[in-house]
Every structure is written in C-alpha cells, then in structure tokens.
Amino acid sequence: MDKMALSKKVMRVQPSATLAMAAKTKAMLAKGADVINLSLGEPDFTTPTAIESAAIDAIRSGKTSFYTPAGGLPELKQAIAQRVAADTGVKYQAKQIIATTGAKFALYLIFQVILNAGDEVLLPAPFWVSYAEQVKLAGGRPLLVHPTGENGKVTVADLEMVRTPQTQALVINSPQNPTGAIYTASELTALGHWAASHDILLIADEIYSHLVYNGNQFTSVIQLDQTIRDNTLLVSGLSKTYAMTGWRLGYVLGNAGIIQAMTTVASHATGNPTAVSQYAAIAALNGDQSAAEAMRLSFEQRLNYLFPKIQSLSGFELPTKPQGAFYLFPNVKRAVVRCGYTTTEDFVTDLLTQAYVAVVPGRAFGQPDYIRISYAASETQLAEAYQRMAEFLRTKGNPD
C-alpha cells in the first residue's frame, strides 16, 4: 500500500520492539541457527493440563461455537471476581469487570475510552513497550517520567515535575516489566493519593502479581483504601501466571462507567474474547493453583541462578535483584562502549547474529543504555546463554 494512504496516527506508531526481536530470532531459528531466545515476554511452559482439558471439554460439549457477551461470560466475570477477592480481599460486581482479548487489548481499550486528543498519560520509565504506542493510537500523548526513587521506582516528586493540566492518567506496573521491581504499600499509597487528588486516573497493571520471588511482598493498589480504589483501574490477565499467552485472556476491574464504555468499544472491535479461552480461563481461575505455583517456583530458581551471573558480566550493571516478573534489566553502557559499539541496538544485533543470544534493546522501554533479558528459559539454556555472552564480551572487549 502507498505510504500516503496511511493515517498520521498510524505513522507515528512504532512496531513492538519485543515482537520485532522475537520475529528476527524466529527467522534465524527457522533457518536452523542455534539461537537461545531470551527476548520473549512469555513463560516457556505449556498451559497446565487441567486448563487444557477444561477447554477441550468446552469445545466437545458445543459451548464454544457461539458469540458470548462482549465483556465476557457471566461465569468468567464471577471467576475473576472470586480470584481477585481471594488474592486481595476486595469484592467487585459483574458490572465493574470486563474480560478482554489479552491485557494488551484491555489497556488499548482503556486509552481509547479515557483520552481526548492531546490528553497526557504519565509513563514512568522504564515501561512496557506498548503503553506509549497505545496512548498515541488513542490520540493522546505519552509523558515519560524519570524515576528517582529507590530501585528505579517513581516518586510523587518525579510525577509532579511532569504533570500538566492535560494529564489524565498514570500507569503503575508492579511487579514491573522490565525491572522486576515491586512498589511497597506505602509507595503506592503516596502515588495513589497524589493521583486521586489531581483527578488523574491510576491504571494499575498487575499482570505479574503472582510472579513474586524470594519472600518479597506484593500489595495490590486496590488493597490500599477506598479513595485510591475508586480512582483505579486494575489490569491483569492469565498470560503470565498460567502460561496462557496464546489464549489471549485479560481483564480489568474498576469504575462501572469506564467498564461499560470499554465493553461498547470492544463490541465493535474484537467482539467477545474467544469463547474457548474464556472457558479455559474459568478453569484456571477457579481451579487448583498448584501448577501456577510450580511455575512460579521455577522462575524463582532461574532468577536466583542467573542474577549473579549477569551481575558478573564485564560492563554490565545490575545493582538490585528483581523481586518479580521474569526479566533482568542491566545497564550495559560500559560493555557497549568497550566492545566498540555506538548504540545498544548494534550491540544487541551482534549478540544475536554472532553469539546467538537474543535479548531486547532498552530503548523501547524508554532506557536506551539497558537491555532486557528474559529468564523464561530452562536453566541449561540460561547457563549456555551466559557462557556465550561472557565469551562475546571477552572477544569484543579485548580484540587483541
């Protein structure tokens, strides 16, 4: 298609850097290259058998052949409400819940329904790649916030520096992709009261809330107090906790008016989330959680294994151990320079094409001097990736 025919809005949007890296890697793998893929934002496990069986049963019993309500089956909304109540003690009604085609589409819908042209959304860096592009697609302006708080977390003072009268929303992602940092209850309370007092909607992306390691504590924004809860949209989904990325099932809980508007937009976009995925999600949320817990434990072991190894790499800086999610986000500026590169992107490209290790450059997350390494891979693969990276740094960093 002629470029002239594309809308200005679409021309401003960047393709997903994580998906682009994944595509490059998959193309190399398809040609038979022995690439270790640490670029992905998804568990390397397959969906637990009980969930798959529930989905197969739903298909066989003929339940999945039909449209469902656009915002999800009533049984699914009930299962979401029950799981959230079990995890947080907070109760939501069906009219405050929407099930969506992944948390990604949930966030897309939120920005579509809350933003007018020129409205701003505060995005503390580093941030998940899709937020900024989704804000732009909704006609809004992403406002990058540079955190000065402990462990790369944003403070009220950081937000206040950037806020303008056009600021409509703030996204807080905890546990965070890509740093793995978790906001404490008191940090969230300060941010939550600040947002409520300025009429700034708090969007709490808690998709990694079940992937918390080594005894660290997670507090959900909705557990703080009523003022903050009333001003919060809680975004989550099944992708990460239950190894269900391919099923595309996310959800949002919060203000009934916003949920209704999101449902209306979804009804004209995807229609309902895929019926079979909804039945799988009901089984996942209502069922025994031990398979999810086993996967969490695996991620914890992998984190404990890989973190000191990445810390030890020459020119990599990673002072704080991640508390959740499944990524490491080291600053690699010194390694990039020492190896003779001018950009992190060039470094990452050669790491892929010469050392056969795929990671993602930090620019897409708002921090160009960093790379994101996913540890959603087996310990054998992580060990091999570490060896390859260490060798790459040795060869490139000491060319003679």
Ligand X SMILES: Cc1ncc(COP(=O)(O)O)c(C=O)c1O
Q: Which residues bind ligand X (CB under 6 A)?
A: 41, 102-104, 128, 173, 177, 205, 207, 237, 239, 245, 250
Q: For residue 60, what is the enclosing H or E element?
A: helix 49-60
Closer residue to ligand X (CB): 143 or 235? 235
User: Whole-number minimum distance, CB 134 to ligand X, in Å?
Assistant: 10
Q: How far apart are alpha carbons 167 and 159 in whole angstroms?
A: 10
User: Which CB atom, from 239 or from 263, has the smaller least distance to ligand X?
Assistant: 239
Contact yes or no for 11/133 (Cβ under 8 A): no
- Residue 327 in contact with residue 372, Cβ under 8 Å? yes
SS3 content of the chain, % helix, strand, coil (to 5): 50, 15, 40
For the CB of residue 137, give the shortest distance to ligand X in the complex, in Å. Answer: 15
Q: How far is the CB of 288 from ligand X (least distance, A)?
A: 22
From the CB of residue 14, how many other CB atoms can be counted at a distance below 10 Å? 12
User: How far is the C-alpha of 269 from the C-alpha of 262, rounded, in Å?
Assistant: 10
Nearest 5°: phi and psi at 266? -60, -35
CB closer to ligand X, 240 vs 388: 240
Closest residue by beta carbon to ligand X: 102
Q: How far is the CB of 233 from ligand X (least distance, A)?
A: 13
Kindly give, in sequence order, each residue whose CB lies less than 8 Å from that of residue 15, ignoring residues fewer than 6 positions away.
Answer: none
Comparing CB distances to ligand X, the nearer of 133 and 205 is 205
Q: Give the distance between the most distant pair of CA atoms in the chain.
A: 67
CB of 12 to ligand X, least distance (A): 21
CB-wise, 169 or 313, nearer to ligand X? 169
Judged by CB, which is closer to ligand X: 121, or 393? Answer: 121
Nearer to ligand X, 43 or 140 (CB): 43
Min separation Cβ 239 and ligand X, Å: 3
* Vertex 192: Cα angle to 186 and 196 (nearest 5): 150
- Chain-centroid distance of CA 203 in Å reads 13
Q: How far is the CB of 187 from ligand X (least distance, A)?
A: 18
